[in-house]
Structure 1
Amino acid sequence: MPKIVDHDQYRKDLLSKCFDLFAQKGYGSITMRQIAQGLQVSTGTLYHYFPSKEALFEQLVEEISQQDISAALAEMDGAKTLAEAMTALGRYLVRHEDYCIKWTYIWVDYCQYQDVNDVRNNSVFKRVNRRYQQAVCDFLGIQDTVIATFVLSLINGLILEKLWCNETIDFPEQCDLLGKMLAAYLQQNRPNILATKHS
């Protein structure tokens, strides 16, 4: 009897292993042949699931965004106040610091080999960005993407600082400060939100 293969799960398994390959070699340096060797599959198998390195990277971004949001929200589950949520976010960043730095490195490396307009107009990246923004909005109980973008930009900036070996960056301390800033802003501009979302 032939072996039944769950192709979607197999594709996800391949993607999860690609993360480390991109982190080790960089997007620009690694070839599809090297990826196949690293995954211990034939190049034919790799091309069956991913028609190009670009397509592979796009699917990796999709997969990681879903995992990141689920993991971060699970970390903050049970937080009853904004302060508790920011404390949980700080813990999450500390626990996953190595992963966050590697993923940021992969992104920076990817972007240096692309035309900025191609990256900006990529439908996958736009969708993923909206997914991250919506997760922040849902958590805060708002529909203000400007605030969501600010939160995400600050977190990404902290991770970049860690990538650049800035030893003064303390994730819990910065997340605590972010929580205080958000609480003050929301209290002044949307006083009912904090009471309804985190009561």
Structure 2
Amino acid sequence: MDSFLVPTAIVALAEIGDKTQLLALVLAARFRKPWPIIAGIVAATLANHAAAGAVGAWVGSIFSDAVLHWILAASFAATALWTLVPDKLDDEETTTARKFGPFVTTLIAFFLAEIGDKTQIATVMLAAQYPELWLVIIGTTVGMLIANVPVVLAGNFAAEKLPLTLIRRLAASAFFILAIVAGYKALCA
């Protein structure tokens, strides 16, 4: 169950205040059709995180346990620091809205916005660490939904009322804890 629960919690926390959450807010305000937006988030996240998970599983298979744990420790520590930096949404990511409806716009925008994003990097790292790849992918996708569905459903209210600084600090703390665990495992391997 750790292969599902840890990725879910990590991504849910890391996603709060992330650019894709801001994108969800913009799409919700623009289209006012939550279900196609939510469906687009699910499809884009599954596709993006499946690719990231495959990379993570491959990386996990080519390195020794000790080397992999040191890589994971450094990656988790770097992601923890990155999580503390608030994201800003680029206007270019929503230009497809003029051409397509809410589902296709969300699918394209979310998939592109997730490329190189901290939650995608976290998916790579988690897939390298946990043996059940499909549970990691489902977990990271559920984490994205936990963070983004309320924003889509509640619109501006949810984004303005959340203590984003506290949530970023909690997410960073979770990544630091994972870095410490990975470093400990590297020492023991």
TM-score over 0.5 (shorter chain): no
User: Could you state the TM-score of these two structures normalised by the residue count of structure 1?
Assistant: 0.31
Q: Which has the larger radius of gyration?
A: 1
Provide the TM-score with structure 2 as the length reference.
0.32
Q: Which has the higher contact order (CA 8 A, sep 6+)?
A: 2
